[in-house]
Structure 1
């Protein structure tokens, strides 16, 4: 094993003495991390910017049969982001959708809505009572703390059928029947919240889910950013040698620039029996997350005293953020259609089909490397391997019985979870390379440990087409075989020099780690 510090030092030295245009592959790939500020409009609206979606069979001990769904919002949070920190938008709705019959329409929607309770804490100054300027007025030790100037609360509603007109019923606390849940304040620092992990754990709720006989769990709050990607090199357009980004021993050669950031997670754990279709035996679900805001927003020229009264809202809710599989809006959807994709529904994804069947990323690789046309881009156009990976699911792994082609994160709930330590960081691609049996990872759902950047590099440049072989093992079509992949086995070795698998996570729900404090 190469020591991590040695790897990083070697990476810096190599960058200083050698260059190769291949790293501009990475410049075309996760340009804003996994859906962090990935489209023009949401770049201006961080509170409703969906960044990552995870869907996996729970691998926490004792939770066999459960499925965990985690939707992340508000990218690139600095732990010291006071005094307001990163509250959710009470005028938006955040949703996790489930398609359980393959028709590209939501059958179940978990809708999160937030409320800010303004406590207007004031201190006696002389003969005046004056409101304080900070989020807190003392130590915070439990939910709904009186020391907080603003307490965030939320509700979760399960909607069966259409997300706007279907049958809706609230999730309730087991034991009390309450429909309102407390969200922990962000990790201000160790003086305000000395033991944040135990404080946040008080906000994990056991919930009764309408129409489901088995209780689930829910949590909404700040977490440590678990995604890893080589953003520094990407943004600076630094060229790195092929010898680094195709050397598996250097998968952790560069530091992860997201390691010092936090994120806001909406996490829910539901027994799979409550997610599957009641009319079929199909174990595959598709999931995606969205955020919607009011159609009209009017800035008050002279806002009254109170919390968040600067803008008045009206009109219907309009979807402005969408995320299923990671990196789709970054590296597949063309720039003119990024906002359109964020506002679209999976059932209408035919309008984006050309971006999948005829992707531009492999051609951008050739341009970046100064190579002749066709010398790096797979030749199997239209790219049936990408259609299968992104739009229908892989036969025998995560394809529903009768899929309507559409972009979403598909999970086979019947494939047993793999304990964290035994998970292959490259998911199904890792099985191809190592002859393993871990089919519980990306692109079959997505776990926190799955290195989706490296997997996406491999897939985009024909790695799964190589694995398909001349025997059409994955059913990608006869045109998808090793001869269609100019990079050959090199496609399997590509990585961004940042290792997702070494990021710290929890052993159980909500899986993403305790957020970094604003001050130690």
Structure 2
């Protein structure tokens, strides 16, 4: 998974579990950048009567580095939520159809504030008491969900647009195969049982997440607020990651079913590149990784340089990856992709380098325009607007990273290496089988409805 339940402690705290981060130049508005952070993994659409919602006690932040460093972020967008109760006499989430996000029939509305930090200037409040949409309960409770979601897209100060609420899970992966010792269904069948064929099974099919999305002008993110126009200029590159934090002290109030939080906030979850903490960081260090900033990621570089999965593939598939098995050098290709960005000259006409400092951030070159014909394999397939140049919802990050780990990207930094034939087509065989992505903000699809969804299938949006 990208970062769903990826560490022991955060798996117990789903409202603070950051599942995916996206950063891309908006295809329908190329003067702007869209940043998305998803939370609360594996949402069953039928999960009432206490449906999923953001945590009032969680500090959600999307952070940007525009200086090539990864210590204190240069730009931060902070989101704080508050939940109301309109009817204290009912157990129901709604007491009638919800046709507007202001309807009194919605018992438990959520609101949020957005503040922005800029290094050297401090904090500025951009908006307060913005309404979230309800979850997609079903056709009687939320009869026109697309309308409700559209009402929760808010235009705020500075040419920015925000949304916070439930969306369809856009990350797809065959969980059953990946964590069954890499038993990739299409690959396993093709190589071990030539007469058989099998597609991947999307383990997130029919499930939802909660998304925080903000679309801002490019100049909101650059150092000095200049317009990025030169792909070769490292000042056009930003690093993006998201965090969730909780206050240090929690006191349970006896007999009241409540808790009081106090003290400074401490980070409990973070995410930059997909799958970093999930499949690279050792189990014993995953909770530590979630609690520190990317400026400390040099300590984890050893696991990128010698990833465990690269060593397992030749063992799991004997004779299929002989060249990978014989390659004993540190993986300079993976260190560039995940920890420094790709320097100029490695990929013709492209770079997203932020310097030698090793830090897990999504690196996005803002001067690269959106692709006219996006390729889900991204930069590896020649689409410079795709992962690992930022990340778009359509990017198949599982296939991209499987191929990279299997050696397909080694020739970028070591032309003497010839990848194994299998590495270029490695995939888990899945695609997005949930409601389709949108062409406009907030881009992620309409969440599956509780009434419409049979577990394990993609849900309708009616």
Is the TM value for this pair above 0.5? yes
1:180 is paired with a residue whose SS is strand
1:410 aligns with 2:374: no
Secondary structure of 2:451's aligned partner: coil
Deviation at 1:500, TM superposition (A): 4.6
Shift of 1:368: 2.4
Give the 5 Å matches for 1:141-156.
Answer: 141-156=99-114
Q: CA deviation at 1:511?
A: 0.3
- The residue that corresponds to 1:444 in the other structure is 389
How do residues 132-281 of structure 1 correspond to structure 2 at under 5 angstroms? 132-161=90-119, 167-172=122-127, 179-209=128-158, 215-235=159-179, 240=185, 242=187, 244=189, 253-278=199-224
How far did residue 199 of structure 1 move?
1.1
1:488 CA drift (Å) = 2.1
Over 3 Å counting, the alpha-carbon distance change for 1:441 and 1:241 in structure 2 is closer
Counterpart for residue 24 of structure 2: 56
Partner of 1:283: 236
Any conservation in 2 of the 1:246–1:494 contact (CA below 8 Å)? no
- How far off is 1:502 after superposition? 8.9
The answer as to whether partners of 2:184 and 2:200 remain within 8 angstroms in 1 is no
Name the structure 2 match of 1:423. Answer: 374
Matched-pair contact (CA < 8 Å) for 2:243–2:267: yes
Superposed CA deviations along residues 383-408 of structure 1, whole A, max 9, x for unmatched, are: 11111111111123343464522110
- Asked if the contact 1:449–1:501 (Cα under 8 Å) also holds between the matched residues in 2, the reply is no
The yes-or-no answer on 1:460 pairing with 2:405 is yes
Match of 2:292 in 1: 344
Q: Does the CA-based 8 Å contact 1:245-1:497 persist in structure 2?
A: no
Deviations 1:109-167 (CA, angstroms, capped at 9, x unpaired): 0011100112234xxxxxxxxx11111111112123211221100011101129xxx71
2:241 and 2:326 map into 1 onto residues whose CA distance is 28
Instruction: Name the SS of the counterpart of 1:118 in structure 2.
Output: coil
Find 2:69's aligned residue among 103, 113, 116. Answer: 103
Instruction: Rate the CA distance shift 1:153–1:359 in 2: closer, same or farther, 3 A.
Output: same
Instruction: State how far apart, in whole Å, the 2-side matches of 1:350 and 1:236 are.
Output: 30
Query: Contact 2:70–2:294 at 8 Å: present in 1 too?
Result: yes
> Is the 8 Å Cα contact of residues 226 and 512 (structure 1) preserved in structure 2?
yes
Change (3 A) 1:252 1:219: farther
* Structure 2 SS opposite 1:76: strand
| Greater mean alpha carbon deviation, residues 285-294 or residues 133-142 | 133-142
Q: Which has the larger radius of gyration?
A: 1
Task: Determine the C-alpha separation between the residues in 1 that align with 2:125 and 2:152.
Answer: 18
Say if 2:11 is the partner of 1:43: yes
- Residue 113 of structure 1 aligns with which residue? 80
* Deviation per residue, 1:390-429 (Å, 9 max, x gap): 111112334346452211000001000124xx11110111
Q: How many residues align?
A: 435
CA-based RMSD: 2.4
Is the 8 Å Cα contact of residues 24 and 390 (structure 2) preserved in structure 1? yes
Question: Tell me, what secondary structure is at the counterpart of 2:409?
Answer: helix
Residue 233 of structure 1 and its aligned partner are, at CA, apart by 3.0
TM-score, L = length of structure 1: 0.79
Contact 1:346 / 1:408 at 8 angstroms: preserved in 2?
yes
Q: What TM-score do the two structures reach when normalised by structure 2? A: 0.88
Q: CA-to-partner distance for each residue in 1:53-98, whole Å, 9 max, x for gaps? A: 01001012xx121100110000010111101111111011000000
The structural deviation recorded for 1:51 is 0.3
Offset, 1:373: 10
2-structure distance, mates of 1:107, 1:245: 48
Equivalent-residue separation in structure 2 for 1:158 and 1:148 (angstroms): 30
Task: Check conservation: 1:378, 1:461, Cα contact below 8 A.
Answer: no
Deviation sequence 1:458-507 (CA, Å, 0-9, x none): 111111113x2xxxxxxx3xxx2353x5x523211111011359971101
TM superposition shift of 1:239: 6.7
Deviation at 1:377, TM superposition (A): 3.6
